Amino acid sequence: MIGWLDKLKKRRVVHISVVIAYILLFMSMHVEFGTWLNGVFGGLSRDSYNKVILTIVLLVGLIFWVKSREDWKKLNKDVMLRGIGIYTLGAVLISYFFLMVINVEAVHFVQYAILAILIFPLLGSYLSVVIICAMVGALDEAYQYLYLDTRASYYDFNDIFLDTIGGGLGLLYLKIKNYSPIPKKVKWYARTEWLLGGVIVLVLTVMTVTGNFTVNMNQVEPAFFTLFKKPPDGFWTYPRGPYARFHILRPIPGLLSIVVSCYIYGLLDRVELIAE
């Protein structure tokens, strides 16, 4: 089922081009995707819309489980793998009950599971891939927050958490499929995630020093990038429009949740399954 990955990784330039094209595609299609969804489900109430999407997600999940049930049995044969599977299930449920505004946000899981599967043969490290997925998610949210007319009053750590879990789902799938290309021996400081992380930290440091990056809005001298233009009140947030209740992750809890998730999925590098 994933033999096409071996064919793709033999053509490194094509492989990298496919990954970049995929990222640019889903980052640039937010407005078009929203418009299409509105055209298909625009006549439904929010409650009915959520039920329809949940039904679709459950049916797809059931079909996927039936087709892969023999592979998923491997979760019970390795304690660490089982723990990662339980964490993933818990994270998905927490996201559904606490972090999603509407159920269609489950698309984050699909988008980033595919991204993780595409990237993995290039890096050969579960930790590296999940960190890259989180970084791409952070960049995507920055693009939406700064340049799309979303009317958002805060930078969305919720979605980055969903993206990270989505990447983990893709990696978990690769692990139970025993797809493990030989990892490339690269010095830690030359690894892709460290280079990208260093650039991000440097840029944010310079922006903070120059007053272009802040956590909360300064009405006198507004920064170019503010995490919270209007801090949410309390644990729950009730947005404008139809009733919806969800929790907004603040920067520190959001970062901790993402970092912990990356560490947990990075443990897949230590899991060794015996091919059956």
Higher pLDDT, 65 or 275: 65
Rounded Cα distance, 216 and 154, in Å: 9
pLDDT digits (tens, 9 = 90+) for 72-117: 777 777 888 889 999 999 999 999 988 998 888 999 999 999 999 9
Q: What is the pLDDT of residue 176?
A: 86
- Kindly give the pairing relationship between strand 246-247 and strand 236-237: antiparallel
In 3D space, the residue among 193, 271, 235 whose CA is nearest the CA of residue 98 turns out to be 235
Q: What is the pLDDT of residue 152?
A: 77
pLDDT digits (tens, 9 = 90+) for 50-63: 888 889 888 988 88
The answer to whether the CB of 227 falls within 8 A of the CB of 154 is: yes
Does position 191 have pLDDT exceeding 90, yes or no? no
Q: Name 269's Cβ contacts closer than 8 Å, sequence gap at least 6.
A: 125, 126, 127, 183
Q: What is the pLDDT of residue 147?
A: 86
Look over the chain and give the mean of its residue pLDDT values, rounded to a whole number: 84
Does position 36 have pLDDT exceeding 70, yes or no? yes
Does position 3 have pLDDT exceeding 80, yes or no? no
Does position 6 have pLDDT exceeding 70, yes or no? no
